[in-house]
């Protein structure tokens, strides 16, 4: 096990690449996105200190099907995939734990598909800001509007309008490359049902969900 500092935007996995490392974020937050032929991406999963990424590939095909990169910089623990696989083969309990974490991450991805198809941009942005706050325990999310647009899967002009709406409601405050959450309860009310659904999946499958506290 090696603890390393990950920089914002650092890519950990690309589609069709061999997964040779398993990542356990500590203070870093990772984003799993689907990469389209024209270069656009849509986020399907966010992984913070509550879980792990790369586990299911290590136990199965060993090939990544998505791009995973560092959404918010910070520390993470990396372990060689072969070491994780060896331990999983020796311990049924450890293997089951990895599978449950992978199920929780997959459930989040499924929820994101439904969310992107059925819910409005402001709802999705609210959910994403809440998710980021949970994993950083900070009222300030240090990301650009362009990055937010990529995560929510819309044009930058669309995310700008959604941020203006949240700002006018007194829920957030915009700054240079950062957004401060002013009203957590109001942001939860502005979000869609998917925020609580993902938390419920995490609680049921791995016993806890990330919390801003």
pLDDT in tens, the chain (213 residues): 999 999 989 999 999 999 999 999 999 999 998 888 887 788 888 899 999 999 888 888 688 989 999 988 999 999 999 999 999 999 999 999 999 998 998 998 899 889 988 999 999 999 989 988 888 888 888 888 888 887 787 888 999 999 999 999 999 998 888 899 999 999 999 999 999 999 999 898 888 878 755
CATH 2.60.120.10 domain extents, the chain: 2-116
SS3 200: helix
Q: Residues 19, 12: contact at Cβ < 8 Å?
A: no
One of 2.40.10.10, 1.10.10.10, 1.20.120.80, 1.10.1740.110 is the CATH number of 120-191, namely: 1.10.10.10
Strand pairing of 29-35 and 140-141?
A: unpaired
H-assigned helices in the chain: 55-59, 81-90, 92-118, 121-136, 145-152, 156-168, 184-190, 194-206
Query: Which pTM value belongs to this model?
Result: 0.86
Query: How many CB atoms are located within 10 Å of the residue 22 CB?
Result: 23
Dist. CA 47–CA 50, nearest whole Å: 7
CATH 1.10.10.10 domain extents, the chain: 120-191
Top-level class of domain 2-116:
mainly beta
Q: Which of 180, 152, 154 is nearest to 167 (CA)?
A: 180
């Amino acid at each position: 096990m090696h603890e390393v500092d990950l920089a914002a935007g650092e890519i950990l996995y690309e589609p069709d690449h061999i997964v040779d490392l398993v990542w356990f974020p500590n203070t870093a937050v990772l984003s799993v996105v689907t990469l389209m032929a024209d270069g656009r991406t849509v986020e399907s999963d966010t992984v913070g200190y509550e879980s792990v990424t790369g586990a299911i590939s290590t136990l199965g095909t060993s090939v990544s099907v998505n791009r995973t990169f560092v959404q918010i910089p910070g520390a993470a623990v990396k372990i060689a995939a072969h070491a994780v696989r060896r331990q999983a083969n020796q311990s049924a309990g450890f293997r089951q734990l990895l599978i449950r974490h992978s199920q929780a991450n997959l459930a989040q991805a499924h929820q994101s598909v439904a969310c992107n198809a059925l819910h409005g941009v402001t709802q999705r942005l609210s959910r994403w800001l809440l998710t980021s706050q949970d994993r950083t325990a900070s009222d300030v999310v240090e990301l650009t509007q362009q990055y937010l647009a990529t995560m929510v899967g819309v044009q930058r002009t669309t995310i700008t309008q959604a941020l203006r709406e949240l700002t006018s409601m007194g829920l957030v405050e915009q700054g240079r490359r950062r957004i401060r959450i002013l009203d957590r309860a109001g942001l939860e009310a502005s979000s869609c049902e998917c925020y609580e659904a993902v938390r419920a999946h995490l609680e049921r499958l791995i016993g806890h969900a990330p919390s801003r506290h």
